[in-house]
């Protein structure tokens, strides 16, 4: 063990015995040698101990065997033990490239930099190369800091990491997402466009957990937004519903397991507790009366003309005219949210996340998205051409494709009043889970929705 190491490298392991030796070897094979190495086994039961036994009395290693405490607590244990000026975590199922440490150290080119991160290769379970993922150039291209660094293989200034309180141990996942906000609030970050590590895709880290991850992000965003918020933000929700007389596809009274679609959407908006006013705008007299009778003072009903509800009608103009008609009652609102009724599985925490993102990053819009990992092509007239396809197995962050979730758009009210448009130049996003993004386009979708509703 180095007496005065510049860098602390710690490996976290929980039942990754099949990959642990590769991770350890990748640290030992670093071109840079002034490091201390800590391995923390978080209560593994898969035989990892057979590998760790070789290093318990090894002069280069400190090995900690503990009952399961979770990743955030384990990170803080390593942080408290660290002797290095810089600290970096390697997950036991990943492995460093030989120049990883030296390349990351080069990124600390100014005193206010708290974290440095790079690119990575994605490999399969056996370690076979799949593709390289390259982040944006944060120094040249990034002004919207809404996509954090990878949680592992990011190097921190140890003192700066300790000064912001380390990792939040109340979180069971997404601890790196939460830490990102505390770091960028006080310090600079830097990325280097060099491959630092191999990220291994395998069964354990590909399993679902989407709802758990997104709900945890929502809690983090709420906490960050409350810290940034000076005055209470006022928001309203706007549901433009054509009704079946104007558009046969607009069916607010379609039923899913005995409940109307319109009721599901309205109840999710109410349950989110994000809105000072919820407005249903429709020319459908039957729907107007239904909403007035059922929700009384909870919902404002806007009876618009049939002409303004035509399929080719301008939603910007509808909202602009409505705001002007309401005068000061809505002009002092900060954000509005357009919500469609063809998505019956809105989650209140996703609604809250979108508004929090608008507050935190001061963007013009926040839309719901699903990242599209399929290979997409467009027709050029002479051939199909790949949109997000690179035959050299290189994936650039700037080429990531996000599919907009229908009927979900937070917009800046003052911008609409000033420009007449709900769309601005800077658009943020909230990631939706697969169920929440599900849309009703056909009778088949209604049948599928009844099954999804039970999941």
210: number of Cβ within 10 Å: 14
State in words which class domain 231-452 has: alpha beta
Q: Could you tell me how far CA 243 lies from the centroid of its own chain?
A: 34
Helices 261-272, 285-295: inter-axial angle, 10-degree rounding: 40
Q: What are the CA-CA distances from residue 446 to residues 240, 258, 407, 433 (Å)?
A: 21, 12, 17, 19
Running DSSP on this structure, what letter comes out for residue 307?
G
Task: Please give the pLDDT value at position 2.
Answer: 60
- Where do the structural domains in the chain lie, given as residue ranges? 7-207, 231-452
Contact 311, 242 (CB under 8 A): yes
Inter-residue contact 284 to 241 (CB < 8 Å):
yes
pLDDT score of 228: 81
Per-residue pLDDT at 341: 93
Helix axes 210-228, 175-186, angle to 10 degrees: 20
Low-confidence ranges of the chain (pLDDT < 70): 1-2, 204-208, 230-231, 327-328, 389-393
375 exposed, middle or buried (CB, 10 Å; 0-12, 13-18, 19+)?
A: exposed
pLDDT at residue number 409 = 98
List pLDDT tens digits, range 351-368: 999 999 999 999 999 999
Are domains 7-207 and 231-452 of this chain identical in fold?
yes
pLDDT of residue 436: 96
Taken in order 395, 365, 250, 341, the sign of the CA dihedral is: positive
CATH 2.60.200.20 fits 7-207, yes or no: no
pTM metric for this prediction: 0.90
- What does the DSSP assignment read for 113-144? EEEEEEEEEEE-TT--EEEEEE---TTTT---
Cα-Cα-Cα-Cα dihedral sign, residues 205, 208, 430, 329:
negative
pLDDT of residue 25: 98
Identify the pLDDT of residue 336.
96
230-234: long-range contacts, CB 8 A cutoff, minimum separation 24: 233/334, 233/335, 233/355, 233/359, 234/276, 234/332, 234/333, 234/334, 234/335
Joined together, the tokens standing for residue 405 give 């979730």
Give me the pLDDT at residue 307, please.
83
Distance from C-alpha of 159 to C-alpha of 162, rounded to nearest angstrom:
5
């Amino acid at each position: 063990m180095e007496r005065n190491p510049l860098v602390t490298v710690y490996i976290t392991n929980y039942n990754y015995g099949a990959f642990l030796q590769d991770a350890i070897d990748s640290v030992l094979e670093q071109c840079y040698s002034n490091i201390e190495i800590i391995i923390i086994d978080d209560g593994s039961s898969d035989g990892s101990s057979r590998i760790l036994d070789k290093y318990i009395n090894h002069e280069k290693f400190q090995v900690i065997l503990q009952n399961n405490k979770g990743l955030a607590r384990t990170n803080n244990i390593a942080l408290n033990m660290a002797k290095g000026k810089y600290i970096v975590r390697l997950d036991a199922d990943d492995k460093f490239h030989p120049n990883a440490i030296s390349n990351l150290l080069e990124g600390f080119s100014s005193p206010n930099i708290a974290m440095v991160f790079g690119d990575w290769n994605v490999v399969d379970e056996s370690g076979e190369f799949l593709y390289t993922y390259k982040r944006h150039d944060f120094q040249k291209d990034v002004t919207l800091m809404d996509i954090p660094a990878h949680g592992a293989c990011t190097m921190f200034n140890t003192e700066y990491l300790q000064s912001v309180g380390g990792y939040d141990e109340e979180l069971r996942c997404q601890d790196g997402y939460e830490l990102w906000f505390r770091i960028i609030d006080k310090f600079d970050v830097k990325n280097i466009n060099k491959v630092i590590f191999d990220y291994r895709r395998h069964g354990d880290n590909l399993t679902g957990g989407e709802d758990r991850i997104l709900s945890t992000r929502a809690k983090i965003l709420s906490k960050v937004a409350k810290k940034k918020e000076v005055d209470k933000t006022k928001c309203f929700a706007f549901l433009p519903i054509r009704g079946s007389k104007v558009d046969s596809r607009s069916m607010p009274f379609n039923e899913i397991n005995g409940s109307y679609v319109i009721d599901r959407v309205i109840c999710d908006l109410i349950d989110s507790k994000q809105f000072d006013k919820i407005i249903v705008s429709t020319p459908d007299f039957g729907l107007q009366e239904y909403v007035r009778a059922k929700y009384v003072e909870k919902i404002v009903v806007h009876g618009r003309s049939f002409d303004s509800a035509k399929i080719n009608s301008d939603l910007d103009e509808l909202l602009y005219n409505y705001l002007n008609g309401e005068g000061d009652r809505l002009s002092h609102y900060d954000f509005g949210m357009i919500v469609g009724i063809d998505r019956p599985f809105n989650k209140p925490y996703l609604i809250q996340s979108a508004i929090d993102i608008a507050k935190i990053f001061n963007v013009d819009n926040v839309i719901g998205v699903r990242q599209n990992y399929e290979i997409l092509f467009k027709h050029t007239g002479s051939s199909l051409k790949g949109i997000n396809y690179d035959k050299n197995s290189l994936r650039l962050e700037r080429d990531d494709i996000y599919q907009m979730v229908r009927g979900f758009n937070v917009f800046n009210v003052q911008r609409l009043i000033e420009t007449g448009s709900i769309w601005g130049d800077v658009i943020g996003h909230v990631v939706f889970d697969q169920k929440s993004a599900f849309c009703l386009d056909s009778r088949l979708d209604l049948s599928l929705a009844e099954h999804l509703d039970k999941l």
